[in-house]
Amino acid sequence: MDQFLHGRTALVTGSTSGIGLAIACALGAAGARVAINGLGSEEQIAAAIAQVEAAGAQQARHFGADLREPEQIAQMMAQIDAWSPLDVLVNNAGIQHAAPLAQQPLQKWNDIIAINLSSAFHTMHAALPGMAARGFGRVVNIASVHGLVASKDKAPYVASKHGIIGLSKVAALEYAAQGNRTSGGVTVNCVCPGWVETPLIEPQIQARIGDGSREDGVAALLAEKQPSLRMSLPEDIAALVVWLCRREAHNVTGASLPVDGGWTAQ
């Protein structure tokens, strides 16, 4: 693979699992030094580091901040900056809780807004000035189709994902003129996946199995919203994130790119 990120440093939040782990591996394969973040057992974290290094990362290290805690995020960002100034920031960590609005526990609202939205404000607040000073930076926020359209039973999630799209547009405008075509500039974009095969959506698959198999649950979920009737793989999302990090993507900023099998075209 073309190691165009050799000498660059990337942070991927929530990269101990799912889409984040695939993004960390893909950025590693492109030669980046990768800061991994996310919850998990010691074994899970060690396995994530090993996977990212095996993919080709110049170096991989885990930073254990709980993204519900702004203090811990500030500490993590300072530690990463001391390790190696950040060129690529992927705000990927996210949680879901599906229930009607009136049955959403307050704690779930607070946690979803903190992890899915506020943590991205805190990391961008810390990282963008350095990117601007160096004339190169990439922020990719993993939003969702639920940043563009709503579904019932997902009030905090849909609010957080609409919020991160707005936040990203503001940052894109504020940093659009930094750097130049040669340095690559500073861009801020959102990727908006439909259904992707990860542990996050497993409860929603299980809820649709009824008397059938897991495959029936997946088919039912896809039939509701995703016209391609195919799930994305985490690697599919990661490939787009890597492309957004290329120099030639310098004029793609403030965009919200759906990877949703036609979901939001309806």
* Residues at the contact surface with ligand NAD, assessed by CB under 6 A: 14-20, 37-40, 66-68, 92-95, 115-116, 142, 144, 193, 195-196, 198-201
The Cα–Cα gap between 117 and 96 comes to 12
From the list 25, 29, 154, 157, the catalytic residue is 157
d(CA 151, CA 203): 16
Q: Closest separation between CB of residue 151 and ligand NAD, Å? A: 11
- In the bound complex, what is the minimum distance in angstroms from residue 69's beta carbon to ligand NAD? 8
Query: Catalytic residue at 157?
Result: yes
| Shortest CB 190 distance to ligand NAD, Å | 10
Q: How far is the CB of 9 from ligand NAD (least distance, A)?
A: 19
Q: Compare residues 80 and 178 and give the one whose CB is closer to ligand NAD.
A: 80
Tokens of 200: 């996050």
- Closer by beta carbon to ligand NAD, 20 or else 179: 20
| Comparison of 224 and 248: residue with beta carbon closer to ligand NAD | 224
Nearer to ligand NAD, 174 or 235 (CB): 235
Give min distance, CB of 257 to ligand NAD, in A.
Answer: 12
- Report the relative pairing of strands 185-193 and 256-259 from DSSP bridges: parallel
DSSP structure string for the chain: ---TTTT-EEEETT-SSHHHHHHHHHHHHTT-EEEEE----HHHHHHHHHHHHHHT-SEEEEE---TT-HHHHHHHHHHHHHHS--SEEEE-------S-GGG--HHHHHHHHIIIIIHHHHHHHHHHHHHHHHTEEEEEEE--GGGTS--TT-HHHHHHHHHHHHHHHHHHHHHTTSS-TTTTEEEEEEEEES-BSSGGGHHHHHTT-TTS-HHHHHHHHHHHH-TT--PBPHHHHHHHHHHHTSGGGTT--S-EEEESTTGGG-
Taking the least distance from each CB to ligand NAD, the nearer of 71 and 248 is: 71
- Residues that are catalytic: 157
